[in-house]
């Protein structure tokens, strides 16, 4: 089905993004997967091309372009021609907007220019060993010491965790309120801020995912982002966009797997016929194409709703739930259609399959998405139980 949401300038941008990814990213992908981290220079090169934090005001070096379709194009092209472990989108559109929307003029002037250029790489640290889906269970603590907060605690599974220069850390500032969190910007080099291992993962090996430790880190008050004690609500505000990003990425990964598999099975033969020509396989391709087109129509509609400021948390949750589960089915079929080669790392489909597995877990798991959707249709047991938690998950 033809997609109708793009204008001519988006198509021009898509061509530019594709040639950047083919020339500057693709040649390094195997090495990055081996070394388990992308080169810092990849962010700087993306910054030079104007691909980072495009929404930032021109006075900070950005393009002042809020239109989410540009990020959607970058994600789609990166899945096919770049590397899914190169988390440009996390830097630009998942973490950056916290500074853009919550930051004071002084903070924006201090941080944004280097975020746009790719010299400052961004990460967000919510998850702890004992608090993932339930953000309100965060134990990291920031005590008010007058001109600074004293930060103690640890985080885990943090994407861009090794490369990050600025980390938005969610920490408890009101111990008596389970939602009493604040967001603090911890900078590379602050005393007491240490990173743990670059964690070994099932897939997406080029993406650095790390633990972080904060031992009596003095975070100046000037690094408080947004309102004190309102961090929980700030986090919730950005989750719809995060889930839309995730949905776009999952469908893009599924599309990329479909494309390489169609190519492969149209060449390879068994029993004197192309693999793609067997009826069982033609029907499998037909099913995948249908599901992906249906998903695309919904996601594109969500993108336009988001551009109009109307995307609801439940529609974003539906997009993430459907796209991530579809990504799982499609990449699984695609490995199967490759036969033994599909299990070999040198075939891109193998990496697409292992990368897909995390999509149903992070940015809110499939179960949490179902919770949000169920509540939106009135199935909310909390409302029947007086005195129970107000904002779970």
Ligand X SMILES: Cc1cc2nc3c(=O)[nH]c(=O)nc-3n(C[C@H](O)[C@H](O)[C@H](O)COP(=O)(O)OP(=O)(O)OC[C@H]3O[C@@H](n4cnc5c(N)ncnc54)[C@H](O)[C@@H]3O)c2cc1C
What is the nearest approach in angstroms of ligand X to the Cβ of residue 158?
5
One of 11, 144, 194, 367 touching ligand X (CB under 6 A): 367
Of residues 149, 371, 372, 375, which one binds ligand X by CB under 6 A? 371
- Using the rule CB under 6 A, is 253 a contact of ligand X? no
| Residue 270: CB minimum distance to ligand X, A | 36
Distance, CA of 362 to CA of 246 (rounded, Å): 9
Find all residues with CB under 8 Å of 221, minimum gap 6, and list them: 147, 148, 149
Q: Which of 120, 206, 223, 365 binds ligand X (CB under 6 A)?
A: 365
Minimum distance from residue 126 beta carbon to ligand X (Å) = 3
3-state secondary structure the chain: CCCCCCCHHHHHHHHHHHHHHHHHHHHHHHHHHHHCCCCHHHHHHHHHCCCCCCCCCHHHCCCCCCCHHHHHHHHHHHHHHCCCCCCHHHHHHHHHHHHHHHCCHHHHHHHHHHHHHCCCCEEEECCECCECCCHHHCCCEEEECCCEEEEEEEEEEEECCCCCCEEEEEEECCCCCCCCEEEEEEECCCCCEEEEEECCCCCCCCCCEEEEEEEEEEEEHHHEECCCCEHHHHHHHHHHHHHHHHHHHHHHHHHHHHHHHHHHHHHCEECCEEHHHCHHHHHHHHHHHHHHHHHHHHHHHHHHHHHCCCCCHHHHHHHHHHHHHHHHHHHHHHHHHHHHHHHCCCCHHHHHHHHHHHHHCCCCCHHHHHHHHHHHCCCCHHHHCCCCCCCCC
Q: Among residues 156 and 265, whose Cβ is nearest to ligand X?
A: 156
Answer for which of 22, 236, 361, 373 binds ligand X (CB under 6 A) is 361
CB atoms closer than 10 angstroms to residue 150: 15
Q: Which residue is nearest to ligand X (CB)?
A: 132
Residues 204-233 that bind ligand X (CB under 6 A): 209
Q: Per the structure block, which two tokens stand in for 302?
A: 């969500």
Residue 373 C-beta: closest distance to ligand X, Å:
12
On whether the CB atoms of residues 390 and 382 are closer than 8 A, the answer is yes
Instruction: Please identify, using beta-carbon distances, which residue of 159 and 250 lies nearer to ligand X.
Output: 159
What does the per-residue mask of binding to ligand X show for 109-148, with x meaning CB under 6 A? --------------xxxxx----xx---------------
Q: How far is the CB of 262 from ligand X (least distance, A)?
A: 28
The stretch near ligand X (CB under 6 A) out of 38-46, 112-120, 146-154, 361-369 is: 361-369
Distance CA 254, CA 117 (A): 30
Closer residue to ligand X in complex, CB, 148/243: 243
Which residues inside 167-206 make contact with ligand X, applying CB under 6 A?
Answer: 201
Measured from the CB atom, the residue of 213 and 362 that comes closer to ligand X is 362
Tell me the C-alpha distance between 370 and 43, whole Å: 35
**Residue of 36, 242, 255, 305 marked active site:** 242
Count of residues near ligand X by CB under 6 A: 20
- Considering only 116, 158, 252, 260, the residue that binds ligand X (CB under 6 A) is 158
Closest separation between CB of residue 364 and ligand X, Å?
6
User: Where does this chain touch ligand X (CB under 6 A) — which range of 253-261, 302-310, 349-357, 359-367?
Assistant: 359-367
Which of 362, 373, 374, 376: binder of ligand X (CB under 6 A)?
Answer: 362
Q: Which is nearer to ligand X, 5 or 393 (CB)?
A: 393
> Judged by CB, which is closer to ligand X: 151, or 276?
151
Task: Judge whether 20 and 46 are in contact, CB under 8 Å.
Answer: yes
Contact between 159 and ligand X (CB under 6 A)?
yes
Give the nearer residue to ligand X in terms of CB position, either 71 or 208: 208
Q: Which C-beta is closer to ligand X: that of 54 or that of 123?
A: 123
- Residue 263 annotated to the active site: no
Catalogue the active-site residues. Answer: 242
Interacting residues with ligand X (CB under 6 A): 123-127, 132-133, 157-159, 201, 209, 358, 361-362, 365, 367-368, 371, 393
């Amino acid at each position: 089905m033809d997609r109708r949401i793009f204008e001519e300038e988006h198509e021009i941008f898509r061509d530019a993004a594709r040639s950047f990814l083919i020339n500057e990213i693709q040649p390094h992908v195997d090495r990055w997967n081996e070394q388990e981290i992308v080169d810092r220079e990849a962010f700087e090169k993306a910054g030079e091309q104007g691909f980072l934090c495009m929404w930032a005001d021109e006075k900070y070096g950005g393009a002042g372009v809020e239109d989410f379709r540009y990020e959607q194009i970058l994600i789609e092209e990166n899945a096919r021609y770049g590397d899914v472990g190169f988390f440009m989108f996390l830097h630009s559109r998942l973490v950056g907007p916290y500074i853009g929307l919550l930051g004071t003029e002084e903070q924006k002037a201090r941080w944004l220019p280097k975020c746009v250029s790719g010299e400052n790489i961004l990460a967000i640290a919510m998850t702890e060993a004992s608090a993932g889906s339930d953000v309100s269970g965060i134990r990291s603590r920031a005590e008010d010491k007058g001109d600074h907060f004293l930060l103690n605690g640890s985080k885990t599974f943090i994407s861009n965790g090794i490369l990050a220069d600025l980390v938005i850390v969610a920490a408890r500032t009101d111990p008596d309120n389970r939602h009493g969190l604040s967001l603090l910007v911890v900078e590379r080099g602050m005393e007491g801020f240490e990173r743990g291992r670059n964690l070994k993962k099932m897939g997406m090996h080029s993406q650095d995912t790390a633990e972080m430790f904060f031992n009596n880190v003095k975070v100046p008050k000037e690094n408080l982002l947004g309102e004190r004690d309102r961090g929980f609500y700030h986090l919730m505000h950005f989750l719809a966009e995060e889930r839309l990003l995730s949905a776009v990425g999952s469908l893009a990964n599924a599309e990329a797997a479909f494309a390489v598999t169609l190519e492969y099975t149209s060449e390879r033969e068994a029993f004197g016929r192309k693999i793609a020509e067997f009826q069982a396989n033609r029907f499998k391709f037909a099913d995948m194409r249908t599901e992906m087109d249906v998903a695309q129509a919904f996601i594109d509609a969500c993108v336009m709703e988001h551009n109009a400021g109307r995307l609801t948390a439940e529609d974003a949750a539906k997009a993430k739930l459907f796209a991530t589960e579809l990504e799982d089915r499609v990449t699984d079929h695609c490995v199967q259609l490759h036969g033994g080669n599909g299990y070999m790392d040198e075939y891109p489909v193998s990496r697409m399959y292992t990368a897909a597995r995390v999509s149903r877990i992070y940015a809110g798991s499939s179960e949490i998405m179902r919770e949000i959707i169920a509540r939106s249709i009135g199935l909310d047991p909390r409302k029947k139980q007086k005195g129970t938690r107000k904002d779970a998950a």
